[in-house]
Amino acid sequence: MIKKLDILVLRSFIGPFLATFLISLFVLILQFFWLYIDDLVGKGLDLGTLAYLTSLVAVTWVPLALPLALLLSSIMAFGKLGETFELVAIKSAGVPLIRFMRPVFIVTIILSIVAFFFANNIIPVANLKLNTVKYDILVAKPAFDIKEGIFYDKIEGYIIKIGKKDKDDSTIRNVIIWEKTFGLQDNFMTAESGIMSITPDKKFLRFTLHNGWNYQENGNRYNPNTEFIRLGFKDYVKEFDLSSFKMNKTSDTAFKDNPQMLSIRQLNHAIDSLGDIHQQFANTLQQQAAPYLSFLRLKDSAWPNTNPTQGLPISKIIPDSLKTMVYNRAIAQMNSTKSYIDLLEVDYNSRIDTERKYWIEWNRKFTLSAACIVLFLIGAPLGSIIRRGGLGMPLVFAIVFFVLFNTLNTFGEKFAKEGVTSPFVGMWLSAMVLVPIGLFLTLKAMRDSQLFNKEYYFRFARRIKKFAYKT
């Protein structure tokens, strides 16, 4: 019976899990492309590059898609068992909730280990390669993505501004082109309208301009005898070389020091290399800043021959010229000391921020894995309480709790980066909040709570009304 029960529960879970995982991963991939749609459109990327980019994005989103899929599928699976009264039959046979949750919980632990493996071993490599590809596409070799009202300087030797683009994305108006290859001379042209297109060989960006002026400067602009020339035209063709826009692969080592590209072993090494930052800077202040605090020693011969026993104030003993010199030297010494300490403070804060980023990524490896277990502890008892299968009601609750989970993660990470909380507290904030909720829902499910039964709340409201009328 036990084996049949485990098979029943696993069959109810595996199908929804695979479906929700693929859907979640697809939605997250679409989110990435939606974010970078303006930078990717018009780049002339081949299918191989797009497929490679998509695969890297999919790998990086796996640890986030797993918890979401576990949450939704566990609500669906246990909700379906409750809706078909199989859950009632199992409980009537004396099998507690914890027992028939066990096979899915074991699967969840296995998936959490897989998530940790992805977060520690695969995602750093995927992030490294993804950032390299993004840099090649968006920064290093950008294609023509000239926008309205913005000076575009990605084409070497030129700065282009287009006042307006028509809906066909090729008709342009109020065009300004400044050529930078003339050194100290100015050479630019303006046009009322034009057509922007790519040559058939895709090597040149062609501007067919109408009704414009070409302004040229002959000679050094700092020479008062400089000659200015203005030439009008009705039609003018200007071509820009696009040979440098071909995709070139940037070395992966360019981003290897980013904390997101490191495994736990590499993060531990990086943290150890920083050492005890507080003690290091305390020693630095003691060794290097202390000499700045030593004031200029003055010879006794510079002082007037005055008997100290006369009780004259120090202001009367020291000459005015010497007082001015000591005052100026002291001010200069203190300003120099302050400047040096300010530089040390900047360096100190920079190293503290670096160490904090390393610890944030170190904790992230475990929080992504723990999220699978945390969201399962919410989804499984929640499904047994609401007793709704399908996709409607479970999807609503899954979205609510996942948004709560993601919001807590975002705020926690932000607090950790700003130093409001420690990296441990910030990165584990979502678990600290959601684990008690999961335990509460589990307790309610074990007691057959009517937490989400509308009739229960209607009856409760009637009792309150009756009590209010009696009083």
Q: Residue 177 above 70 pLDDT?
A: yes
Query: Angle at Cα 221 formed by Cα 215 and Cα 227, nearest 5°?
Result: 55
Mean pLDDT lowest among 83-92, 320-329, 388-397? 388-397
Q: What mean pLDDT do residues 236-255 have?
A: 63
Neighbours of 282 (CB within 10 A): 11
How far is residue 314's CA from residue 322's CA, in Å, rounded to a whole number? 12
Cα–Cα dist 337/307, whole Å: 36
Q: How far apart are CA 100 and CA 380, in angstroms?
A: 10
pLDDT tops 50 at residue 140: no
Q: Which among 175-189, 214-228, 251-265 has the top mean pLDDT?
A: 175-189
Range 391-405 average pLDDT = 77
Q: What is the mean pLDDT of residues 373-402?
A: 77
* pLDDT of 298 above 50: no
Distance in angstroms (rounded) separating the CA atoms of residues 264 and 118:
12
Could you tell me the pLDDT band of residue 159, with boundaries at 50, 70 and 90? confident
**Tokens describing residue 264:** 């736990």
**Nearest of 98, 87, 94, 109 to residue 439 by alpha carbon:** 98
pLDDT at 326: 73
Summarize the confidence of residues 141-145 as an average pLDDT: 50
